[in-house]
Amino acid sequence: MPDPTMSDPVLPDLLAPGLRLVFCGSAPGLVSAARGAYYAHPGNRFWGILHQAGLTPRRLAPAEYPELLRHGIGLTDMAKHAAGNDDQLPPGAYDPAGFAARIRAVRPQAVAFTAKAPAAAFLGRRTGAIPYGRVEGPADFPPVWVMPSTSGQASRFWDARPWLALGQWFHARP
């Protein structure tokens, strides 16, 4: 696991002004960190559901993640300097203030958390108190969505419906 005090992030942010949507995960998994690509574990549903929800015209490979910018989509993580499953992250790995600053700097139209844990860290709520779908966030922040985790380890919580609703919202906006 990378040293949480290191200055370089495990994976670079994929952020730019004017994005329509930014996805925020907990932290890169160990496979993603090793491959240098977001959602790179073969059992992860992220790339498939992005295509299924109409957010990408085809299923992208993890190594193609920079292509998301062409579709108005960005990527970041709540823990930029650690890798692993949520239960493997060191205490203090999440950086909600840093996340908020990065999002406010680029001002996307919406933010979607790819699991409840990073959403809970940002919103200051228990995971059990957060529903999937659009949720209330800070008044000075873009609209917030919370998606079921695409990790294969979270299969028991998988539900494509919030992802499909996010895709409908995405296409309904100019």
Cα 9 to chain center, whole Å?
A: 15
Q: What percent of the chain clears pLDDT 70, i.e. is strictly above it? A: 95
Q: How many CB atoms lie within 10 A of CB 138?
A: 12
Instruction: Give this prediction's pTM.
Output: 0.94
Complete DSSP assignment for 101-130: HHHHHH--S-EEESSHHHHHHHHTS-GGG-
CB 94 within 8 A of CB 116: no
Q: What is the pLDDT of residues 26-71, one digit of tens each?
A: 999 999 999 999 999 999 999 999 999 999 999 999 999 999 999 9
Give residue-wise pLDDT tens across range 104-121.
Answer: 999 999 999 999 999 999
- The per-residue pLDDT for 7 is 62
